Chain A
Amino acid sequence: NAGVTQTPKFQVLKTGQSMTLQCAQDMNHNSMYWYRQDPGMGLRLIYYSASEGTTDKGEVPNGYNVSRLNKREFSLRLESAAPSQTSVYFCASSAQGASTEAFFGQGTRLTVV
């Protein structure tokens, strides 16, 4: 009964370091998302994958790359971390269709110093 699993839960990076946030879902969902949450800004979409093999930019894609490795997994990579990328990151997934709710992971709290 895992749902959406994100790793790690916490991470501290130095400016310029790289890292990959992992996300996996076991609900056979087609769509997967990466969001960042900052105070006063709500959840902003970074990247989106409508199905395996496809990805699309969201509102704030700069500084990030994604890989939809297979139907289950959708990873987010920071190539050269910057303090402005300090945030809480959420992965989510949903079945196809406008009426289907998204299920969220527990979030990753990332601090870039």
Chain B
Amino acid sequence: AQKITQTQPGMFVQEKEAVTLDCTYDTSDQSYGLFWYKQPSSGEMIFLIYQGSYDEQNATEGRYSLNFQKARKSANLVISASQLGDSAMYFCAMRPYSGNTGKLIFGQGTTLQVKP
């Protein structure tokens, strides 16, 4: 069975500093995709970044980067130069690639608060 674990229920970071949100996963599949989503207080789900299990380079999207350590089964999100608008809940998710029928499963989420 697949499982995503986010062990940090809540995090604080000072504005303009970097922060790392942890994500570990468990799967027996060799091929899978890892995703991070942001959910602001308004409730919508916003896609941030994707990492494929066979990608050799860590994914980056603007201020977001993914610290992917395949052997440790971890896919931590790094937000550089935090902004007040980054205050939100963040979800890690995984989709195993099983003949195009992989289910997208999520972790419990981490609430990030950015302090001015």
Residues of A near any B CB (own CB < 8 A): 30-31, 33, 35, 40-45, 48, 50, 56, 58-59, 88, 90, 92, 94, 96-104, 106-107
Contacts and interface: CB of A to CB of B under 8 A. Distances in A.
Nearest to A42: B108
Nearest to A109: B43
Contacts of B103: 33, 45, 48, 56, 58
Query: Interface size bucket, B side?
Result: 20 to 34
Interface of B: 4, 6, 9, 31-33, 35, 43-45, 47, 50, 52, 91, 93, 95-97, 100-109
User: Which are the 5 A-B pairs with shortest beta-carbon distances?
Assistant: A98-B97, A104-B45, A42-B108, A98-B33, A43-B106
B97 A97 contact: yes
15 contacts: A33-B103, A33-B104, A40-B9, A42-B91, A42-B108, A48-B104, A50-B101, A58-B103, A92-B104, A94-B104, A96-B100, A98-B31, A98-B96, A99-B52, A107-B44
Given A99-B33, A99-B50, A101-B50, A45 B104 contact: yes
Nearest to A57: B103
Contacts, number: 68
Contacts of A106: 43-44
B67 to A, nearest CB: 19
Nearest to A33: B104
A56 B44 CA distance: 25
